[in-house]
């Protein structure tokens, strides 16, 4: 190799310094294609577009962490605005004359919009790339946040808030299913699950923050008991007039508080959108690993192949039923705990702590999964077993079969939500491994559509008049228990990881350790 060729292999396309370079043994095209077929299996390779170029460089860029953080902030904004109304349900019902069905519908716009746009945005991620998909979705979320700020006067406020929630929901497919695609494009195999977990952790913190910020800025309505006996009609008229005046002032203040919350959410989302317009590339100049350099199957062919992949449907059905229900269940935890005498603020803190615990646990579990790779099924099974035990305990306590206390409510909800939610990044990554070489956007798009379908059905049931809330806990138990036979039948395979670990592929590897990007 001449000096000019050697130098080009030691610098990236934007002249970044590198400290190491490796080139695997050269093989001819037929040998290379045969090796890839041996790794993936003959039935997994039906299209020539999944075979990589004969030579390619692999680079890991420091800027990947900025891209991950910016994407996570967008997803956090989307999740936080989806979860706006559950934590302040008491105040919202008093301010706008809503009922439990209205609160449920506001939460339901997320799954409804997801089912409408999920396939389209999956196509956009895999075919058009991350930039167009993410920037478009962030614009929709920003527009939805802005629409909600127009007025607080009913009935227009109700219509605009519902429309805004629908626009926010349209940004959900990329916010929820985008992390595995982003980690596959920007991160090396030993960081993929961790990156997916971070892109799940920060948005989940956005959802959790709604449990605190909402009740903090929009306090629970202070409605005093007006039951009293008045002998003097003059005193009665005066009391009724004063009570009407106090009610009007209270509702006016609640609407002002809610609009202030709307302004804050809009401002934060607008800032993220502007930062994405400035810099959020479609992909890095060079891929971080061998599998990232390989083209995925054509979108429609991949979607057709996905519907025929039995192993994928085991994990997708389990994810959709359990995590779809628990996401909706947690989003309206205030309605669930209200019959037990738990206040809106107390329910907000329970939701906040449980969501935060799930974030931390997800990051720890994901890092362990990266270190001890190819053990995803076992880890997921253990997490579900522990989570189901605590959910059953909570349901029995709510039904007065077991002793109930504030400590029991905190413990059971936090542990149940934490263990189940910490499995999400593992489920995403395992689904991508099972479906590879189908695109990550397609794979996780279908998974999250099922997730939203589960949440949609759950919230539609809540809209039935006078149905109560006790059914919610038993439904959640059933949704998690049904996952165990599905995981038992699952045969885990690591098609994508096997490609990255096969050192016989003709690959130029350059690792960046000093960079300004």
Rounded to two decimals, what is the model's pTM?
0.69
Assign residue 45 a region (left: φ > 0; alpha: ψ between -120 and 50; beta: otherwise).
Answer: beta
Quote the CA–CA distance of 454 and 479 in Å, as a whole number. Answer: 9
Establish how many alpha carbons lie within 13 A of residue 137's alpha carbon, considering only the half-sphere containing its beta carbon: 34
User: Angle between the 130-147 and 156-170 helix axes, to the nearest 10 degrees?
Assistant: 170
State how far the alpha carbon of 400 is from the alpha carbons of 330, 331, 449, in Å: 21, 23, 36
Would you tell me how many other CB atoms lie within 10 Å of the CB of residue 208? 26
Any idea what DSSP says for residue 340? G
Quote the CA–CA distance of 160 and 144 in Å, as a whole number. Answer: 9
In terms of C-beta density within 10 A (0-12 exposed, 13-18 middle, 19 or more buried), how is residue 514 classed? exposed
Look at residue 508 in the predicted model and tell me its pLDDT: 47
The pairing of strands 57-58 and 508-511 is parallel
Terminal alpha carbon distance of the chain:
28
Quote the CA–CA distance of 100 and 438 in Å, as a whole number. Answer: 41
Helix (H, G, I), strand (E, B) or coil at 20: strand
State how far the alpha carbon of 442 is from the alpha carbons of 176, 192, 307, in Å: 12, 17, 11
Look at residue 162 in the predicted model and tell me its pLDDT: 92
Which residue, among 494, 506, 513, 448, has the nearest Cα to 189 in the 3D structure?
A: 494
Any idea what DSSP says for residue 23? E
Q: Which domains, and CATH codes, for the chain?
A: 60-222+236-501 (1.20.1250.20)
User: Angle between the 100-123 and 299-307 helix axes, to the nearest 10 degrees?
Assistant: 120
List the pLDDT tens digit at each of the 517 positions of the chain: 444 443 333 333 344 433 333 333 334 445 444 544 544 444 444 444 444 444 457 777 888 899 999 999 999 999 999 888 888 888 888 888 888 778 878 888 988 898 888 889 888 888 888 899 999 999 999 999 999 999 888 888 889 999 999 999 999 889 988 888 898 888 887 788 788 888 888 887 888 788 788 888 888 776 554 444 444 555 555 545 555 567 788 888 888 888 999 999 999 999 999 999 999 998 888 877 666 666 666 677 877 888 888 888 998 899 988 988 888 888 777 777 877 777 777 887 888 888 788 888 888 888 877 777 778 888 899 999 999 999 999 989 888 888 888 888 889 988 998 899 888 888 888 888 888 778 777 787 888 888 888 888 887 887 777 777 778 889 899 999 999 999 989 888 887 777 766 654 544 444 444 344 5
Cβ pair 105, 162 in contact under 8 A = yes
Look at residue 463 in the predicted model and tell me its pLDDT: 75
> Quick check: bond before 437 cis, omega within 30?
yes
Quote the CA–CA distance of 323 and 430 in Å, as a whole number. Answer: 15
Quote the CA–CA distance of 409 and 337 in Å, as a whole number. Answer: 9
Establish how many alpha carbons lie within 13 A of residue 30's alpha carbon, considering only the half-sphere containing its beta carbon: 0
User: Angle between the 130-147 and 64-82 helix axes, to the nearest 10 degrees?
Assistant: 30
Any idea what DSSP says for residue 46? -
Look at residue 511 in the predicted model and tell me its pLDDT: 43
Beta bridge partners of 58: 509
Look at residue 245 in the predicted model and tell me its pLDDT: 63
Look at residue 285 in the predicted model and tell me its pLDDT: 82
């Amino acid at each position: 190799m001449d000096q000019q060729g050697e130098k080009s292999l030691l610098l990236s396309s934007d002249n970044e310094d590198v400290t190491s370079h490796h080139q695997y043994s050269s093989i001819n095209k037929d040998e290379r294609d045969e090796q890839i077929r041996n790794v993936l299996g003959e039935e997994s390779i039906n299209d020539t577009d999944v075979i990589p170029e004969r030579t390619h460089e692999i680079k890991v860029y420091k800027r990947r962490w900025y891209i991950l953080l910016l994407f996570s902030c967008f997803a956090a904004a989307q999740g936080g605005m989806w979860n706006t109304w559950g934590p302040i349900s008491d105040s919202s019902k008093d301010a706008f004359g809503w009922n439990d069905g209205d609160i449920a519908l506001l939460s339901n716009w997320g799954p409804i919009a997801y089912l409408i746009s999920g396939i389209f945005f999956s196509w956009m991620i895999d075919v058009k790339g991350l930039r167009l998909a993410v920037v478009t979705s962030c614009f929709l979320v920003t527009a939805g946040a802005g629409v909600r700020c127009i007025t607080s006067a009913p009935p227009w406020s109700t219509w605009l808030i519902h429309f805004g929630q629908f626009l926010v929901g349209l940004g959900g497919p990329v916010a929820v299913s985008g992390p595995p695609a982003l980690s596959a494009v920007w991160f090396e195999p030993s960081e993929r699950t961790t990156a997916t977990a971070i892109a799940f952790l920060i948005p989940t913190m956005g959802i959790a923050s709604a449990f605190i910020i909402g009740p903090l800025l929009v306090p629970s309505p202070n409605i005093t008991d007006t039951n009293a006996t008045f002998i003097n009609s003059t005193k009665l008229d005066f009391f009724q007039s004063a009570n009407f005046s106090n009610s009007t002032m209270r509702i006016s203040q609640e609407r002002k508080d809610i609009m202030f919350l709307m302004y804050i959410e809009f401002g934060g989302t607008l800032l993220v959108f502007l930062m994405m317009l400035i810099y959020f590339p479609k992909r890095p100049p060079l891929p971080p690993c061998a599998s990232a350099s390989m083209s995925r199957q054509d979108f429609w062919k991949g979607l057709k192949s996905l519907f025929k992949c039995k192993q994928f449907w085991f994990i997708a059905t389990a994810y959709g039923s359990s995590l779809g229900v628990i996401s909706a269940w947690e989003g309206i935890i205030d309605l669930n705990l209200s019959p037990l005498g738990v206040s809106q603020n107390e329910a907000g803190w329970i939701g906040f702590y449980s969501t935060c615990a799930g974030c931390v646990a997800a990051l720890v579990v994901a890092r362990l999964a990266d270190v001890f790779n190819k053990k995803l099924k076992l880890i997921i099974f253990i997490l579900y077993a522990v989570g189901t035990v605590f959910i059953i305990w909570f349901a029995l306590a709510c039904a007065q079969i077991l002793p109930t206390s504030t400590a029991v409510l905190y413990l059971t909800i936090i542990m149940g939500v934490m263990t189940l939610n910490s499995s999400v990044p593992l489920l995403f990554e395992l689904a991508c491994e099972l479906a590879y070489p189908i695109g990550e956007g397609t794979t996780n798009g279908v998974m999250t559509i099922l997730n939203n379908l589960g949440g949609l059905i759950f919230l539609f049931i809540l809209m039935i008049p006078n149905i109560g809330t006790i059914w919610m806990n038993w439904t959640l138990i059933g949704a998690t228990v049904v996952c165990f036979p599905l995981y038992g039948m699952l045969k885990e395979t690591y098609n994508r990881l096997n490609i990255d670990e096969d050192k016989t592929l003709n690959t130029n590897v350059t690792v960046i350790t000093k960079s300004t990007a």
